[in-house]
Structure 1
Amino acid sequence: MTPLVLIGDLVASRRSSLRQQLQEQLKQALDDLNQDRTGLTSPYTITLGDEFQVVYEQADRVFADCLAIAAAVYPVRMRFSLSLGEISTELNPDQALGMDGPAFYQARDGIDQLKRSGELFRLAGLNDAEQPLATGGLGLFSHQLNKWNANRLHILNRLLQDWRVERIAEELNISEQAVYKNINSGGLHAVIRLLTALTQTLNESMRGRAC
């Protein structure tokens, strides 16, 4: 099984007057996600005040989790750099620290590339046939994501978890019509097809390669 590394980074948080509050919101979001360790090799771990790492053993929750984090720190944006690859040190099941290897190098390089491009998602480590489609799809998704509000992020997160519209509306205290408007305006069904296909591709790649 090949592990999947994610490094997440708050965009331009050092210039925010609410930096400490943002860091607390990020920590709370990660703590909430760590309540369920399904699919995690190493849990969500703050590495710097504005940054976190996590290692997955399967990709099923990756994109839903990213959207939950993005919604938690809105209107500040998050960058997410995913990397499928080798971890050359012993895996740490207690926290995503003290590990090293190509997967972490690629994820770190991805964060640097996202800072230059202004995009919010990057994925590295797929084979030559799959990588261009993943890069293009996530580039389009990043473009859309930059224009979304917290409700739309949350709605997509819940749809990826198979929630019904009625339940989403109740949780957000908005009308079902407003949920459907977000789904239609954001093209969320198309986004779900993209993210589902990427999740399947990641899972197949993780199972198909030895670490």
Structure 2
Amino acid sequence: MSRVQLSPVVLIGDIVRSRSSADRRGLHRALESALADTNARVDHVEPLEVTVGDEFQGVYTHLGAALEAALRTRVALRERAETRYGIGRGATTTLDAKRGIKDGPAWWAAREAIVAVEEEARRAALGHVHTAYRLAEGEPDDLGTSVAVDAALHCQDHMVGSLSERSGRLLRGLLEGMTQKELAAAEGITPSAVSQRVRTDGLAVILRCHELLRTLP
């Protein structure tokens, strides 16, 4: 039996309230550094690149890769600024290769997703939700997978957004493959203190959720 060819996945991200930053140049450098690190760690069709203003975008073969790219970038930038992400699956078209102008259902779906995130952020109870996933019209959604993914993202985003700065740094280190002993040395705390934060702040749950989501085709 032949496997169904899946459509590509588009990721659109931006920095929340970037215009209010006291150091926009430094923030832009931090963004470029975070995107470069994510591109080096996550397989992509088109790498994450800054487009207009503080918006950035990339294209992936698998949904799991796009979700991983969103989480890694958010965690990497979290101490400087919050970011939000719209992810869409569907067909893509390049209108102008020289100027990098893209079009097509996947881009429309990703744009719809990031607009939905912005609207949800106006509700205090959903203030930590920063990622959404949408399918382009006509894309198959067997057993409502897109709804399940969106539900998982709501939970993951809330947990990440609720972390202290130190726990956020620990999460980033764990995503980069650092050991708890190495993280303890970097933070100037004991390994047992790191272990306690991994348990009580839900870092292990976030990592497990990430491990499962990144396997999605």
TM-score (norm 1): 0.79
- Conserved in 2, the CA contact under 8 Å of 1:67 and 1:156? no
The separation in 1 between residues aligned to 2:107 and 2:181, in whole angstroms, is 40
From 4, 8, 28, the counterpart of 2:33: 28
- Tell which deviates more after alignment, 6-15 or 141-150: 141-150
| Secondary structure in structure 2 of the residue aligned to 1:55 | strand
Where does the alignment leave 5 or more consecutive residues of structure 1 unmatched? 204-211
Where does the alignment leave 5 or more consecutive residues of structure 2 unmatched? 1-5, 122-128
Task: Count how many residue pairs are aligned between Structure 1 and Structure 2.
Answer: 199
Return the structure number with greater relative CO, CA threshold 8 A, min gap 6.
Answer: 1
Percent identity, aligned pairs only, is 26
The separation in 1 between residues aligned to 2:179 and 2:28, in whole angstroms, is 31
Deviation at 1:185, TM superposition (A): 2.3
| Match of residue 152 from structure 2 | 137
The separation in 1 between residues aligned to 2:7 and 2:186, in whole angstroms, is 36
- Conserved in 2, the CA contact under 8 Å of 1:84 and 1:103? yes
- Conserved in 2, the CA contact under 8 Å of 1:6 and 1:80? yes
The root-mean-square deviation of aligned C-alpha atoms, in Å, is 2.8
- Conserved in 2, the CA contact under 8 Å of 1:10 and 1:79? yes
Deviation at 1:48, TM superposition (A): 2.0
- Tell which deviates more after alignment, 126-135 or 20-29: 126-135
Residue identity in the other structure for 1:187: G
Distance 1:83 1:175, change over 3 A: farther
Deviation at 1:59, TM superposition (A): 4.8
From 194, 199, 211, the counterpart of 2:214: 199
| CA deviation string 1:131-189 (max 9, x = no partner) | 22211121122222222234433433443454432233344554323322321122122
| CA deviation string 1:60-101 (max 9, x = no partner) | 554454344223352421101111221133897xx9932211
The separation in 1 between residues aligned to 2:64 and 2:185, in whole angstroms, is 25
| Secondary structure in structure 2 of the residue aligned to 1:7 | strand
- Conserved in 1, the CA contact under 8 Å of 2:87 and 2:114? no
- Conserved in 1, the CA contact under 8 Å of 2:160 and 2:206? no
